Amino acid sequence: MLPTYSDIRILELASGIGRFTGSLASKAGSVVTVEFMEEFVAKNKELHNHFGNCDFLCADVLKLTLPPASFDLVFSCWIQMYLNDQEVRVLAARKLEWCKPGGHVFFRESCFQQSGNVTRAFNPSHYRHPSFYTSVFSEVRCTDATDGIEYRLELVRSRNLETYIAVKGNKGQICWLWRKVPVTSSQARLVGNGNTGLSNGNGAGHNNGHSNGHSNGHSNGHSNGRSNGSKNEYNGVSSPHANDLFAPPATGQLATHDGLFGPGFGSDRVGGAGPASALARALELGEPGKRVLDWQCGLGGYGLWLAEKCGAKVWQVDERTALIEGAVQHSRTLPKAHTVLEVCRLHSREFDPESVDAVIVHTPQPLSPLSSSFYHRAAAWLRPGGRLVAGLLLGSVGEAEKLLAALAKAFGHEVVMTDMTPQMVEWMEQSLTASRAAHRAVEPGNGHTNGNAHVARKEQELQTAVEQWWEEQLERVKAGGLHYFLFKATKQA
């Protein structure tokens, strides 16, 4: 997660007795450590002063005064969870100010729950939803006093920590890496509107309503580079619930889509146990513990299914911050399922060569962000004998043939393509039947509403609209206007 930090200047906040100081000082040009407990400062100095490149300050980070733009990396671990919301905002602004242009800000916090299971008589921590930190750090701004340039923090990567997942089943240990970049005129208008910091057109908005640090509210806005009045369409497939088929539904609508496709599949538009089972059979993972990369994972339903049913260790990546945060929250319902969830820039995210056993793709837009270059990269990441499997709803056989050619070029030999459109018809009919049955069970007047008739009515209207939209797509599939293909490419051993 950390950028290269050899020979750079690092500010380490809330350093304690130096849990990370030694690792940082062993490579950095210089490290300034800050801790408000005198005995901790003394112990850190005792342990790490021999590096000769450390300064040990005893100070409160909220009262700390340092020159602006004086550090290449501002590093902290487990400090903001002890601050109230306003103090987090203040510290975020100061981190941005202390960081050099082009430098980085890194932090790790406990979200949702504490890191361990020890009962404490007094616990001052705020176990917030991760969207709070994403929102706060996306919105901070500072202006350089010398040249008048305004700066912000751009999200580079964010993920939960695999060690805590593997050892404790805790998926709430989350870290963020940001880069200090100039603000453009369009980005300046996003202040306060939930900019995620990912300038890729897929940011989903967050509100700032976090009562006592525990609210997980999101706004319903999703910026995708189109006007809100544009039709949500791909290959003629339109949906009334998001202004782009591949942008997620608004947060308040995800439960409705999950009700149709299955938990965690609401962002995929094609999901559920049927397609997930088909991908699993094509993967032929064998024994548990195989490492699977879930590319453009959305709400994570496919990867979580593979982790739960097949014992796979799944690394899930997506550019859409709100979806990953929703996926983290959903994955916590299955703590034993080994899934790491990461926000990153897909076009530049790389993995070690021959480091994964399988790659799965289930986004319905393979010919846009998942260009032929992606398949070459995926082939490099796979171990010999590993497989890339893609299950995709496409508008024509011609598109499927283009994708087949791209895969064959990347993998260097024959790739298997299977038309599973008849099975997709069955899955779509099954999902509609199940959704309608659940729909009828909670209709207003059946005694199962939440007590608010207006809210219940709106939920029913939305559910009906989603079902009607999906029924329209079912008819398109039956008429031959849409096809579901399963692609399987194997890396030569």
Q: What is the CATH number of the domain that holds 467?
A: 3.40.50.150
pLDDT (0 to 100) of residue 211: 36
465: enclosing H helix or E strand = helix 453-478
In this structure, the answer to whether residues 338 and 406 fall within a common structural domain is yes
- At 370, is the pLDDT very low, low, confident or very high (cuts 50, 70, 90)? low
| pLDDT at residue 230 in the model | 34
pLDDT score recorded for residue 269: 63
366 pLDDT above the threshold of 90: no
Q: Is 57 within the bounds of a domain?
A: no
Band (26; pLDDT cuts 50, 70, 90): very high
Q: Please give the residue range of the domain that contains residue 127.
A: 66-213
Question: pLDDT at position 268, please?
Answer: 66
Residues 209, 236, single domain; the answer is no
* Percent residues over pLDDT 90 in the chain: 54
pLDDT of residue 132: 94
Question: In this prediction, what percent of the chain has a pLDDT beyond 70?
Answer: 77
3-state helix, strand, coil in the chain (%, to 5): 35, 25, 40
Q: Sign of the C-alpha dihedral, residues 77, 1, 355, 357?
A: positive
Domain boundary among 166, 182, 213: 213
User: Is a pLDDT exceeding 90 seen at residue 124?
Assistant: no
Is residue 214 pLDDT above 80, yes or no? no
- The answer to whether residue 299 sits within a structural domain is yes
* The pLDDT value given to residue 120: 56
The more confidently predicted of residues 33 and 323 is 33
198 part of a folded domain: yes
Same domain, 285 and 183: no
Tell whether the model's pLDDT for residue 217 goes beyond 90.
no
Average pLDDT over residues 269-284: 88
Q: Return the beta strands (E) in 134-239 as ranges.
A: 142-143, 150-160, 173-182, 233-234, 237-238
Indicate whether 7 belongs to any domain.
no
Can you read off the two tokens belonging to residue 29?
């040009």
User: Could you tell me if 192 and 328 lie in one domain?
Assistant: no
235 and 287 in one domain?
A: yes
173, part of any domain: yes
Query: Which among 185, 213, 241 is the end of a domain?
Result: 213
Residues 207 and 285 both lie in one domain: no
Mean pLDDT of 283-311: 94
Q: End of a domain among 213, 248, 277?
A: 213
The tens digit of pLDDT for each residue in 28-74 reads 999 999 999 999 999 999 999 999 999 999 999 999 999 999 999 99
Average pLDDT over residues 276-297: 94
Element (H, E) at 105: strand 99-110
- How far apart are the C-alpha atoms of 244 and 224, rounded to whole Å? 7
Q: Would you say residue 245 has pLDDT above 50? A: no
Are residues 168 and 235 located together in one domain of the fold? no
* 271 pLDDT higher than 70: yes
Question: Letter for the amino acid at 226?
Answer: R
Q: Which of 16-20, 112-116, 215-219 has the lowest mean pLDDT?
A: 215-219
pLDDT at 270: 72
482 is a domain residue: yes
Same domain, 375 and 343: yes
User: Do 405 and 478 fall within a single domain?
Assistant: yes
Structural domain includes residue 191: yes
Least trusted range by pLDDT, from 124-133, 261-270, 336-345, 369-378: 261-270
Note whether 339 and 461 are same-domain residues.
yes
Task: Give residue 184's region: left, alpha or beta (phi > 0; psi -120 to 50).
Answer: beta
pLDDT higher than threshold 80 for residue 224: no
* Domain co-membership, 136 together with 168: yes
Q: Is the domain of 236 the same as that of 193?
A: no
Among 12-26, 72-86, 218-232, 250-264, where is mean pLDDT lowest? 218-232
Q: How confident is the model at residue 453 (pLDDT cuts 50, 70, 90)?
A: confident
In a domain? residue 4: no
Model pLDDT for residues 406-437, shown as the tens digit of each residue: 899 999 877 999 999 999 999 989 888 888 88
Number of domains the chain contains: 2
Q: Which among 212, 305, 219, 319 is positioned nearest to 262, based on CA atoms? A: 305
